[in-house]
């Protein structure tokens, strides 16, 4: 498919790193505006690179090949209307390009804090919001000393600026912490950056929530909010099991939204989508992280069925039709119950996509699936979000029906996947 919008009178839009769910944004915009694509790096992992719908773009530019100043000249000559972030890879460059081109965007002064989780927590704390105790370090000795000084309470070890639960470990003793340090420091993370340092944070007791949003001129629209349930692997990693869409009047949602809006303001996320993860502790919400981009599990048809709207559609409206965005309610409404179910592989083997789809289609609440593996591809046991074979969306008026279908799937999956 090529970009159907060929009207030369329309100002183009720039998408930076339109990988993963950024491809959904490109598809939604392609019928309405000419599109330009910018790649922020030359070493994009093949799986991400393949997800970019290059045929939808009028031009493709590489920062690595052009250099910043030449790139800016070429983009400015086409008089673009906006710069949008396509994926986590493009957050910092999108901020910079928008600022240099004189377009609306998120302040580049805070770009690093939107990517680096330790700077992120510091910035949120400086705005007066509570966050987890943490240590940024490149020293295993310092990490162990901090762990001991806290009375050997559980900690979470993670890279500073990765994504998708990449190398995130829950450590309850020194042996587990040693193993996490050895795994993280010196390795290359999912964002293709070397882990020269790492982050330790106190383990937060409580339920995990995901709040997705779209912002325009500093106002925030909450597009969907989910309660997450995770499973623990033998290696001490938490992997996603399911996410349940909260009713718009869920009792905890007011508190969560107030906190998340404070986080968005603290990080100066005033334009575009954001994906925020928090733990609701006994003392109140605490930030895990915020991504200034679309949710990695964005599924417009599923969200339209469940809420009548979705993050991709509101992101498009925020840049192309802000007057229509202003008419939208600040919080989504629930039309049907929805669950995002993450496939969990327990065995090494070969992925049978055809059989997986057949089994899913037999579930009454099955809506759609985004599978990461084709028929015949190797399956390895799931240890994080990116090693899950895929995500499934269950939607139904009855939450009991969804729970029954979820259980049916897990019973089949544990022996066959």
pLDDT value, residue 144: 94
pLDDT value, residue 236: 63
Six-digit token pair at 302? 């599923």
Q: What is the Cα 212 distance to its own chain's centre?
A: 9
Residue 167 has pLDDT above 90, yes or no: no
pLDDT value, residue 219: 97
Dist CA 225 CA 293 (whole Å):
15
Dist CA 412 CA 405 (whole Å):
11
Q: Do domains 133-202 and 206-332 have the same CATH topology?
A: no
Mean pLDDT of the chain: 93
Quick: pLDDT tens for 390-417: 999 999 999 999 999 999 999 999 888 7
**pLDDT higher at 165 or 100:** 100
Residues 6+ apart with CB under 8 A from 191: 88, 89, 161, 162, 163
- Work out the angle at residue 298's Cα, subtended by the Cα atoms of residues 166 and 45, and round it to the nearest 5 degrees: 40
pLDDT value, residue 2: 64
**Which among 363, 309, 358 has a CA at the least distance from the CA of 341?**
363
Residue 280 has pLDDT above 60, yes or no: yes
Dist CA 329 CA 333 (whole Å):
9
**pLDDT higher at 5 or 64:** 64
336-417 has CATH 3.30.70 classification: yes
Res. 1 pLDDT band, cuts 50 70 90: low
**pLDDT higher at 159 or 1:** 159
Res. 161 pLDDT band, cuts 50 70 90: confident
pLDDT value, residue 4: 64
Residue 190 has pLDDT above 80, yes or no: no
Tell me what the mean pLDDT of segment 25-33 comes to.
Answer: 96
User: CATH code for 133-202?
Assistant: 3.30.1490.20
pTM: 0.93
Res. 6 pLDDT band, cuts 50 70 90: low
Kindly report the number of other CB atoms within 10 A of residue 220's CB atom. 20
Quick: pLDDT tens for 347-395: 898 998 999 999 999 999 999 999 888 888 888 988 877 788 999 999 9
Q: What is the domain partition of the chain in residue ranges?
A: 13-105, 133-202, 206-332, 336-417
Quick: pLDDT tens for 191-210: 777 888 899 999 999 999 99
Dist CA 137 CA 149 (whole Å):
15
Which CATH number fits the domain 206-332, given the four candidates 3.30.565.10, 2.40.50.140, 3.10.20.30, 3.30.470.20? 3.30.470.20
Fold adopted by 13-105: Rossmann fold (3.40.50)
């Amino acid at each position: 498919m090529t970009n159907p919008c060929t009207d030369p009178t329309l100002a183009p839009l720039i998408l930076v790193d339109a990988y993963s769910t950024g491809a959904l944004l490109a598809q939604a915009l392609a019928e309405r505006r000419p599109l330009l694509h910018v790649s922020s790096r030359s070493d994009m992992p093949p799986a991400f690179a393949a997800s970019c719908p290059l045929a939808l773009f009028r031009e493709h530019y590489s920062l690595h090949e052009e250099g910043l100043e030449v790139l800016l000249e070429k983009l400015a000559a086409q008089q673009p209307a906006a710069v949008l972030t396509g994926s986590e890879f493009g957050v910092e460059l999108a901020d910079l390009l928008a600022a240099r081109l004189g377009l609306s965007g998120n302040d580049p002064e805070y770009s690093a804090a939107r990517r680096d989780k330790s700077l992120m927590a510091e910035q949120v704390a400086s705005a007066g919001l509570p966050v987890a105790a943490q240590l940024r370090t490149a020293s295993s000795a310092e990490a162990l000393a901090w762990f001991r000084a806290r009375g050997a309470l559980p900690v979470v070890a993670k890279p500073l600026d990765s994504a998708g639960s990449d190398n995130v470990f829950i450590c309850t003793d020194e042996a587990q912490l040693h193993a996490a340090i050895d795994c993280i420091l010196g390795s290359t993370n999912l964002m293709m950056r070397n882990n020269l340092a790492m982050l330790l944070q106190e383990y937060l007791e409580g339920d995990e929530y995901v709040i997705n949003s779209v912002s325009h001129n500093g106002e925030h629209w909450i597009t969907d909010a989910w309660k997450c349930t995770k499973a623990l692997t033998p290696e001490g990693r938490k992997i996603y099991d399911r996410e349940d869409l909260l009713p718009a009047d869920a009792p905890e949602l007011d508190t969560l939204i107030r906190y998340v809006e404070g986080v968005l303001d603290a990080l100066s996320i005033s334009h575009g989508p954001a994906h925020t993860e928090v733990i609701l502790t006994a003392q109140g919400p605490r930030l895990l992280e915020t991504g200034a981009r679309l949710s990695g599990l964005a599924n417009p048809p599923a969200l339209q069925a469940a809420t009548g709207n979705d993050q991709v559609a509101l992101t498009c409206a925020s840049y192309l039709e802000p007057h229509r965005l202003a008419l939208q309610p600040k919080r989504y409404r629930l039309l049907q119950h929805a669950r995002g179910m993450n496939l969990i592989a327990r065995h090494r083997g070969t992925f049978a996509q055809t059989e997986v789809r057949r089994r899913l289609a037999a579930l009454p609440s099955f809506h759609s699936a985004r599978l990461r593996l084709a028929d015949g591809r190797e399956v390895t046991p799931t240890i994080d979000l990116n090693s899950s074979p895929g995500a499934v969306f269950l939607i139904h008026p009855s939450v009991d029906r969804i729970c029954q279908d979820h259980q049916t799937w897990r019973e089949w999956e544990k022996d066959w996947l």
